[in-house]
């Protein structure tokens, strides 16, 4: 699994749209499948977005889905549904990573509940509705589902939290607090987005959640990519041990030094549930979807003979941070429809002689007019 390529996509997505919650890990395998299946020039655009040569993308998607699904506390699934009118090539289906393969009837009242049920079943009920709409024109839908869950190695205590300043000032919030001894779970980093304070909250199954705080005037599209770069070791960071041993009082967002019976880390945060719906076509160039969504021709000859284009590309995601643990899920879906090939209509002429008119009898070769006349009245129809 190419972790760097997947993380790079996540970071670029956050720079473009840092709102809500996103899952690059849920999107990346789908784009890799599309890259392997697309014609040029869309094939190269998708491969560039994925960061893997197009000829290697199907295998890369297979490896990524397997590796992600094998992680403790993580479930990953792939689904493909096609209308029989799409004439999907069985050889293409056989090349896919292990997937749920189903049929679209073209009837939204039948197809949408089936897709919604798949989303619920593969996200442990966190996502109720499939992000792409089933409609009569949908020929093929490709989707991934990703769900993670971890329980804190040490649970938090519930408490009320009333911030003294900032946008939440004087609001009574559902807070969480915890104290522990691993000082280096807190790190302060210097980044192009300014100083960041990051706290690792350890899960009991190898999954951690890193809480990140930047200066108040920094946007999420700056802070989150910078935090990912810190985790990758790209920016200087100091751990809690070094911070406490320093002669200077550490200065970082949200960080203070307080009296304690022994050296420890105390963290207070708010409970949160974040739900997001993302239209991936709003950032089509970032994800390599510019060409393959165009209606001028088909873009996926490897899938089948019916000319297809990407019509919808969306992700629904949710993340829940509580006293006992963290869970999150994302369903990413791409819907394709048949290309509306231009219809070249010939034009004809129709002339009606339904009033007095003239006539000429002409010799073709010489142009000689043999007779000329005028029809003043018409013969009646036979009874």
Please report the DSSP string for 331-350 in residue order: EEEEEEEE--PPP-------
Beta-sheet strand order (sheet of 325-338): 100-104, 74-83, 138-151, 325-338, 308-321, 272-279
Element (H, E) at 239: strand 237-239
Pairing of strands 100-104, 74-83: parallel
Q: What 3-state DSSP class applies to 245?
A: helix
pLDDT reported for residue 369: 46
Give dist(CA 221, CA 224) in Å, integer: 6
- CB-count burial class (<10 Å; 0-12, 13-18, 19+) for 119: buried
- CB-count burial class (<10 Å; 0-12, 13-18, 19+) for 242: middle
DSSP 260: -
pLDDT reported for residue 77: 95
pLDDT reported for residue 180: 87
Give dist(CA 252, CA 198) in Å, integer: 10
Q: Let me know if domain 3-151+274-338 sits in CATH 3.30.497.10.
A: yes
Give dist(CA 154, CA 324) in Å, integer: 8
pLDDT reported for residue 377: 62
What are the per-10-residue average pLDDT scores of the chain (383 residues)? 87 86 92 96 96 95 92 92 93 92 93 96 95 93 93 90 84 87 89 89 87 86 88 87 80 84 87 91 96 92 94 94 91 92 58 62 56 59 62
Pairing of strands 308-321, 186-191: unpaired
The 10 Å Cβ neighbour count of residue 290 is 17
pTM of the model: 0.85
pLDDT reported for residue 343: 45
Interhelix angle for 3-16 vs 42-50, to 10°?
Answer: 100
Give dist(CA 360, CA 338) in Å, integer: 53
Give dist(CA 100, CA 82) in Å, integer: 11
Beta bridge pairs of residue 141: 81, 335
pLDDT reported for residue 161: 84
Give dist(CA 64, CA 76) in Å, integer: 10
- Closest residue by Cα to residue 27 from 15, 9, 44: 9
Using the structure block, give the residue that is written with the tokens 């990953």.
76
Could you state, in order of their start, the residue ranges of all structural domains in the chain?
3-151+274-338, 182-263
- Cis before 158? omega within 30: no
Beta bridge pairs of residue 331: 145, 316
pLDDT reported for residue 157: 92
Q: Is 335 in contact with 280 (CB distance < 8 Å)?
A: no
Q: What 3-state DSSP class applies to 326?
A: strand
Q: How is residue 26 written in tokens?
A: 């849920």
């Amino acid at each position: 699994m190419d972790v760097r390529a997947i993380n790079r996509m996540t970071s670029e997505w956050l720079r473009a749209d840092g709102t809500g919650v996103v899952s690059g890990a849920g999107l990346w395998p789908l784009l890799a499948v599309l890259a392997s299946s697309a014609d040029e020039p869309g094939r190269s655009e998708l491969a560039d977005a994925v960061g893997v040569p197009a000829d290697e993308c199907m295998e890369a998607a297979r490896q990524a889905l397997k590796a992600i699904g094998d992680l403790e506390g993580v479930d990953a699934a792939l689904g493909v549904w096609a209308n029989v009118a799409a004439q999907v090539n069985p050889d293409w289906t056989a090349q896919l990573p292990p997937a749920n393969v189903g049929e679209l009837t073209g009837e939204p009242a039948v197809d949408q509940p089936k897709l919604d049920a798949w989303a619920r079943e593969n996200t442990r009920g966190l996502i109720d509705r499939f992000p792409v709409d089933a409609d009569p024109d949908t020929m093929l839908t490709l989707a991934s589902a990703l769900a993670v869950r971890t329980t804190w190695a040490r649970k938090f205590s519930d408490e009320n939290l009333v911030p003294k300043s900032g946008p939440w000032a004087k609001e009574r919030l559902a807070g969480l607090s915890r104290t522990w001894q691993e000082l280096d779970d807190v790190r302060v980093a210097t980044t192009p987005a300014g100083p960041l304070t990051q706290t690792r909250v350890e899960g009991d199954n190898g999954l951690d959640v890193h809480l990140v705080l930047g200066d108040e005037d920094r946007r999420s599209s700056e802070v989150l990519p910078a935090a990912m770069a810190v985790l990758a070791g790209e920016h200087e960071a100091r751990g809690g041990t070094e911070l406490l041993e320093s002669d200077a009082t550490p200065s970082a967002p949200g960080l203070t030094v307080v009296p304690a019976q022994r050296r420890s880390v105390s963290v207070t945060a708010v409970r949160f549930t974040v739900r997001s719906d993302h239209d991936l076509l709003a950032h089509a160039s970032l994800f390599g979807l510019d060409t393959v969504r165009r209606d001028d021709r088909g873009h996926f000859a490897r899938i089948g003979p019916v000319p297809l284009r990407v019509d919808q590309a969306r992700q629904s995601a949710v993340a829940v941070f509580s006293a006992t643990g963290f869970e999150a899920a994302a369903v990413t879906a791409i819907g394709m429809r048949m290309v509306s090939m231009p219809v070249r209509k010939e034009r004809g002429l129709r002339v009606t002689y339904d009033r007095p008119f003239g006539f000429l009898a002409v010799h073709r070769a010489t142009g000689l007019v043999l007779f000329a006349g005028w029809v003043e009245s018409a013969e009646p129809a036979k009874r």
